[in-house]
């Protein structure tokens, strides 16, 4: 059993996600998979998390039950949709929205306390990879995170492979996953330019428990190809 997750980022409208989920549910009804499927639409396109063959999670949320946090979405608002999984630490939030490790760790603690399944993203940029300090860097991205949290799913996403069309090599994926397995007992997904062509090879690697897919999850047919790749 692998975990296959689609992160739609700021793509797809509510109408498009509604069509997408209808098609996904229908296809998975006809052709079952043993894998665990998750999708993460934008907040405006969040749907009730009550599908039979996949779960709907949130890409981001603020660490408060509710309150005065303009522009943010809170725990109560996710709970209204039955949402129980959340992406935290994505490199786009770290880089574009300047979320630092302390902020990310606060978010993690709050949603772990609330019993959420947490897709926790980490990954180095090219400079770090070339410097050879990969282990040290990845270790700092776990600061303040309970690596033994039972509902933690780690997503290793090298920044240089996200949205570039160039995924990490199989050797790089395997060796980094093996490094990460010394830091956490949690399942570890790979993310970064995963598509229907490379998914099978990546998912077959030892230590790869699944994939987190961005661009190639935006069309349901492609996402299904990834799900059925193995
Ligand atoms: P990508 O994005 O598949 O488009 O590279 C992956 C991610 O950011 O999760």
User: Residues in the chain, how many?
Assistant: 230
What is the model's pLDDT at position 230? 78
- Spacing, Cα 38 to ligand 1 middle (Å): 14
| Spatial distance between the Cα atoms of 58 and 80, rounded to a whole number of angstroms | 12
Residue 157: closest CA among 73, 83, 196, 215? 215
Count of CB atoms within 10 A of residue 19's CB?
13
Atom nearest to 215 CA in ligand 1: 4
Task: Answer whether 0.85 is exceeded by the pTM.
Answer: yes
For CA atoms 172, 179, 93, 88, the dihedral sign is positive
Q: What is the mean pLDDT of each run of 10 residues along the chain (230 residues)?
A: 98 98 96 94 98 98 98 98 98 96 98 98 94 93 98 97 89 96 97 96 97 98 94
What is the model's pLDDT at position 196? 95
Residue 101: closest CA among 60, 140, 149, 157? 140
Is residue 7 lining ligand 1, measured as CB closer than 6 Å?
Answer: yes
Is residue 218 lining ligand 1, measured as CB closer than 6 Å?
Answer: no
42 alpha carbon, distance to own chain's centre: 13
Is residue 158 lining ligand 1, measured as CB closer than 6 Å?
Answer: no
Alpha helices in 31-100 (DSSP H): 75-79, 91-96
| Spatial distance between the Cα atoms of 227 and 230, rounded to a whole number of angstroms | 7
Task: Report which DSSP code applies to 164.
Answer: S
| Spatial distance between the Cα atoms of 187 and 67, rounded to a whole number of angstroms | 33
Residue 119, SS3 per DSSP? strand
Is residue 157 lining ligand 1, measured as CB closer than 6 Å?
Answer: yes
Atom nearest to 164 CA in ligand 1: 5
Question: CA 56 → CA 93, 170, 187, 210, distances in Å?
Answer: 20, 29, 19, 17
| Spatial distance between the Cα atoms of 77 and 198, rounded to a whole number of angstroms | 36
| Spatial distance between the Cα atoms of 161 and 123, rounded to a whole number of angstroms | 10
For residues 149 and 113, the answer to whether their CB atoms sit within 8 Å is: no
Atom nearest to 165 CA in ligand 1: 5
Q: Known catalytic residues?
A: 90, 157
For residues 226 and 219, the answer to whether their CB atoms sit within 8 Å is: no
Please write the tens of the pLDDT for every residue from 144-188: 999 999 999 999 999 999 988 888 899 999 999 999 999 999 999
Tokens of 213: 């897919």
What is the model's pLDDT at position 123? 97
What is the model's pLDDT at position 16? 98
Contacts of 101 (CB under 8 A, 6+ apart): 140, 141, 143, 144
What is the model's pLDDT at position 136? 94
| Spatial distance between the Cα atoms of 153 and 173, rounded to a whole number of angstroms | 16
């Amino acid at each position: 059993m692998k975990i296959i997750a689609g992160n739609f980022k700021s793509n797809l409208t509510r109408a498009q996600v509604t069509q997408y989920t209808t098609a996904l549910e229908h296809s998975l009804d006809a052709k079952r998979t043993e894998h665990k499927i998750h999708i993460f639409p934008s907040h405006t396109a969040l749907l009730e998390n009550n599908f039979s063959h996949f779960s709907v999670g949130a890409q981001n949320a603020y660490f408060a039950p509710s309150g005065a946090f303009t522009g943010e979405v809170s725990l109560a608002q996710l709970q209204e949709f039955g949402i129980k999984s959340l992406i935290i630490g994505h490199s786009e939030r770290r880089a574009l929205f300047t979320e630092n490790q302390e902020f990310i760790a606060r978010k993690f603690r709050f949603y772990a306390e609330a019993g959420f399944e947490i897709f926790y993203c980490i990954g180095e940029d090219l400079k770090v990879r070339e410097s050879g300090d990969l282990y040290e860097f990845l270790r700092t991205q776990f600061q303040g995170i309970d690596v033994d949290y039972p509902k933690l799913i780690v997503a290793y996403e090298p920044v240089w492979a996200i949205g570039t069309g160039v995924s990490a090599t199989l050797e790089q994926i395997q060796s980094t996953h093996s490094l990460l397995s010394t830091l956490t007992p949690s399942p570890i997904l790979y993310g970064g330019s995963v598509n229907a062509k490379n998914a099978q090879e990546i998912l077959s690697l030892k230590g790869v428990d699944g994939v987190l897919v961005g661009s190639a999850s935006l069309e349901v047919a492609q996402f299904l190809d990834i799900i059925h790749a193995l």
